[in-house]
């Protein structure tokens, strides 16, 4: 039982502390007692709304926020909570109206409030509006790593890969310790086939910073391939332990989702040879360069992919030779003849002239014509 003569602020403060400790039942008890004494205390109705929302009691949450707004139509926290609850009922227009009202009241520079609104919209898949509020926040707070990261997440979900890469890297410039942004960026780079960059970022995270299994699986496989580690290598033990923690209580559908996420865009499990090729690149790079004859960039290793997902790696000359060997009709032909014939076919197909004088010009020309993608 609470002490007598508590003010509404006292009840609000106690409930807020319990809420922060995730003791939602106890917070609701305190708020209910406070409201019995102070039924017109807006903050207590707002607190009740958020406590109910945390317990996923959306109807009760909506009622509490509506009562708060009825008492104070311009209360920004009440409007934010009501908007977040309306999203749960599928009322996107009503929710955005609440959020726009907050902007109209002059809260365009409220860092935490804008993040709350943007994240609520993001969770419910209202991505265009989520990006709008995050971009308002990043305008007001250009040095906020959290805001920059959120713009990056939303850009990726909206298929703006370039924007996602820019904002995730910006977040890490602002805060190198932003683990969530680093893990997200690493997975994005992995999906692009940029394994070296993905490993660079994954190795700068700790096991406990991973909230799902995807990044851990990828880190383990890359480490095994690049450093030739066994499954039971001590370096992998903490990652295996974290993986066990994440999967121990996972429902079957969660494990299925993780498996799906490990697939490529075409629905197939990613080609393990790509990781093996990447490992070969890192562990034998000097030898590959020596075989290529050294020189000023002549032995530099590159990686390209075709529209069908086939990846080639090596010097420009080695890549063209691999492409020729994969084309059955050119197995016994010369590299020069293959480039000339492919350049002619590419010009007929795209209308773009592709040089065939040397391997580098041929590959870069093919990339300009959209027939190849240069990954590295």
Tens of pLDDT, residues 23-72: 999 999 999 999 999 999 999 999 999 999 999 999 999 999 999 999 99
The predicted model gives 203-217 an average pLDDT of: 93
Report if residue 61 sits inside a domain. Answer: yes
Tokens representing residue 24 in the block: 């939602």
Mean pLDDT on 91-97: 97
pLDDT class for 344, splitting at 50, 70, 90? confident
The pLDDT, as a whole number, for residue 293 is 41
**pLDDT for 65:** 97
Determine the structural domain holding residue 323 and report its residue range.
299-374
The whole-number pLDDT of residue 346 equals 80
Q: Which of 81, 107, 133 is the last residue of a domain?
A: 107
State the pLDDT at residue 265: 43
Q: Could you tell me the CATH number of the domain that includes residue 2?
A: 1.25.40.10
Cα-only R_g, the chain: 28
Query: Quick one: pLDDT at residue 306?
Result: 83
Q: Is 283 part of any domain?
A: no
Residue among 318, 319, 338 at smallest CA distance from 328 = 338
- The two tokens of residue 15 are 């409930």
Per-residue pLDDT tens over the stretch 149-161: 999 999 999 999 9
- pLDDT averaged over the chain? 85
pLDDT at 298 over 90: no
Cα(301)–Cα(315) distance, integer angstroms: 5
In a domain, 331, yes or no: yes
Is 15 domain-assigned?
Answer: yes
Whether 169 is covered by a domain: the verdict is no
Residue 308: per-residue pLDDT = 73
CA angle, residues 148, 151, 152, in degrees to nearest 5: 90
pTM exceeding 0.85: no
**How many domains in the chain?**
2
Question: Going edge to edge, which strands form the sheet with 373-374?
Answer: 311-314, 302-305, 373-374
The pLDDT of residue 290 is above 90: no
Among 107, 130, 145, give the residue marking a domain's end: 107
- Give domain status of residue 208, yes or no: no
> Which of 58, 83, 107 is the C-terminal boundary of a domain?
107
Query: What residues are paired with 263 via a beta bridge?
Result: 269
pLDDT band (50, 70, 90) for residue 282 = very low
**What's residue 283's pLDDT?**
40
Q: Please name which of 346, 339, 348 lies closest in space to residue 317, comparing C-alpha atoms.
A: 339
> Is residue 146 pLDDT above 90, yes or no?
yes
User: Per the domain annotation, does 39 fall within a domain?
Assistant: yes
In tens, the pLDDT along 216-275 reads: 999 998 888 888 888 888 999 999 999 889 887 655 555 555 554 544 444 444 443 344
| pLDDT, average across residues 7-25 | 93
Asked if residue 275 is part of any domain, the answer here is no
């Amino acid at each position: 039982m609470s002490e007598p003569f508590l003010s509404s602020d006292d009840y609000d403060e106690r409930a807020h502390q319990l809420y922060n400790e995730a003791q939602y039942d106890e917070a609701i008890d305190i708020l209910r007692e406070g409201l019995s004494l102070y039924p017109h205390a807006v903050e207590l109705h707002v607190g009740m709304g958020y406590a109910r929302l945390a317990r996923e009691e959306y109807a009760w949450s909506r009622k509490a926020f509506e009562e708060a707004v009825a008492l104070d139509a311009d209360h920004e926290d009440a409007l934010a909570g009501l908007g977040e609850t309306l999203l749960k009922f599928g009322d996107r227009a009503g929710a955005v109206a609440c959020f726009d009202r907050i902007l109209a009241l002059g809260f365009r520079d409220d860092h935490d409030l804008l993040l709350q609104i943007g994240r609520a919209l993001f969770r419910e898949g209202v991505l265009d509006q989520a990006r709008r509020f995050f971009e308002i926040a990043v305008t007001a707070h250009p040095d906020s790593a959290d805001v920059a990261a959120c713009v990056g997440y939303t850009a990726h979900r909206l298929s703006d890969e370039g924007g996602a890469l820019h904002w995730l890297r910006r977040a890490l410039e602002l805060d190198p310790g932003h683990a969530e942004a680093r893990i997200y960026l690493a997975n994005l780079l992995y999906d692009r086939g940029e394994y070296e960059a993905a490993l660079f970022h994954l190795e700068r995270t700790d096991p406990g910073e991973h909230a799902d299994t995807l990044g851990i699986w990828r880190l383990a496989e890359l480490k095994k391939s690049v450093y030739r580690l066994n499954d039971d290598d001590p370096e992998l033990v903490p990652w295996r332990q974290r993986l066990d923690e994440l999967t121990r209580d996972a429902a079957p559908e969660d494990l299925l989702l993780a498996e799906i996420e490990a697939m490529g865009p075409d629905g197939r499990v990613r080609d393990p040879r790509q990781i093996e090729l990447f490992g070969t690149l890192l562990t034998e790079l000097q030898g590959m360069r020596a075989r290529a004859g050294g020189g000023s960039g002549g032995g530099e290793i590159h990686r390209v992919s075709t529209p069908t997902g086939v990846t080639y790696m090596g010097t420009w000359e080695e890549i063209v030779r691999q492409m020729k060997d994969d084309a059955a009709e050119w197995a016994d032909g010369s590299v020069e003849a293959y480039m000339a014939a492919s350049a002619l076919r590419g010009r007929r197909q795209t209308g773009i002239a592709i040089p065939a004088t040397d391997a580098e010009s041929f590959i870069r020309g093919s990339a300009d014509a959209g027939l190849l993608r240069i990954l590295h």
